[in-house]
Amino acid sequence: MERCRVQLSVLPCPPNTGRKRPVLEARELSKSYGAVKALDTVSFRAVGGEVIAIVGDNGAGKSTLLKVLSGAITHDTGQLRVGGELVDFRSPHDAEQVGIEAVYQDLALVNTLDVGSNIFLGREIPRKGMAGRIGLIDRRAMRREGREALRDLLGVEFPTMRRTVEMLSGGQRQAVAIVRSASRLEQRGRGVILLDEPTAALGVAQRQRVGMLIKRLASKGHLVVIVSHDLPTVFELASRIFVMRLGRLVTELHANDSDLSTLVGLITGAIEPTDITKVVADDDATASSDINRSSRGTK
C-alpha cells in the first residue's frame, strides 16, 4: 500500500485545560525491556470530567502505559503527576492511594461471591457489635450499599445482588468491576479510572450499557481512560484519542474532528502526521508548551 501523509490539526488540550489543573499528566515517560523500547518519551495531560482513549496496534505500548499509570510497573525515565503533584508509584496500592483505579480485562472478580461482596472486596463492611470485632462481615449491608452504588452509576435497579458473579452476563460483570472501582473513588472524591478493553466480547446492548456507565462516571467529574481496539465505541465515548505506535504517542485527535478511516490509517502507519504535538504542562500546570517534531520518515 502506498503511504500517504496528511497535515493534521492537533489541539494540545480540550477547551480551558490550560486554566484547569490536570488530573493526570505524563511527561516524557519511557520504559525499556532490554533493547525493546516499550514506551518512548510519552507525554499527555488530561482533566477530570473527560473520557480519553489510548489506541494502537498490538505492541504499540498501550498496555505498558496503562500499567505504568496504574502502578503495576515502574517507568524508567520521565515524570508522572496526579493533581499536579509528582508521584512515583511502586505498586498498584500507591496509585490507589492517590485516586487511580484500574479495571483490567480479567475484571479480578471472585466468581463464587455475590455482587455486593465483590463490590466491597478488600473493604468489607463488618457486622455491628461483638460479631464485627471477631471478624464477621455484614453481607446484607454490602448488598444494600452495593445496590445503591449500582443504581447511582447505572441509573437503574440492579436486580441480581444475591447472585454469584459467575451467573451474570458479560455486561453485568463489567459493570460490577467498574462500579467497585468507582465506589472506592467516591470515598476520596474525584479520581481516575483506567479501563482495559471495557467492551471486549460484549454484545451490542451490553456495550451500550457499559458506554452509558463510562459517560456517567465522567459526568461525575472522574477522568476515564480507556484502552480499546473497539474503534467505533472509542469515537462514541472519547473526546480525545491518543494514537500509539511502536511505543510512541504519535498524535492526538479530537474525536469530533476525525473519522474512522483516518484513525485506522494512523494506527497502521498508512497515514503519518507531518506534525506531532506533545503536551507538557508547566510546573504549576496552568500552561502548556508544544514540542513540535517531524515524524520519522518525513522530509
Domain with 76, as residue range(s), is 4-99+188-293
CB 295, CB 274: distance < 8 Å:
yes
Whether 286 is covered by a domain: the verdict is yes
Q: At 75, list the grid cell.
A: 517507568
pLDDT tens digits, 51-74: 999 999 999 999 999 999 999 999
pLDDT tens digits, 174-190: 889 988 988 888 777 78
Whether 141 is covered by a domain: the verdict is no
Q: How far apart are the first and last CA of the chain?
A: 19
Residues 6+ apart with CB under 8 A from 197: 105, 227, 228, 229, 230
pLDDT tens digits, 202-228: 888 888 888 988 999 999 999 999 999
Q: How much is the pLDDT for 281?
A: 36
Whether 172 is covered by a domain: the verdict is no
Instruction: Tell whether the model's pLDDT for residue 171 goes beyond 50.
Output: yes
Residue 36: pLDDT band by 50, 70, 90 thresholds?
very high
Residue 151: pLDDT band by 50, 70, 90 thresholds?
confident
Whether 119 is covered by a domain: the verdict is no
**What's the domain count of the chain?**
1
Find the CATH number of the domain harbouring 226. 3.40.50.300
pLDDT tens digits, 127-149: 888 877 888 888 889 999 888 88
Q: How much is the pLDDT for 196?
A: 94
Whether 132 is covered by a domain: the verdict is no
Whether 123 is covered by a domain: the verdict is no
Q: Say which residue, 262 or 13, is predicted with more confidence.
A: 262
Whether 53 is covered by a domain: the verdict is yes
Whether 104 is covered by a domain: the verdict is no
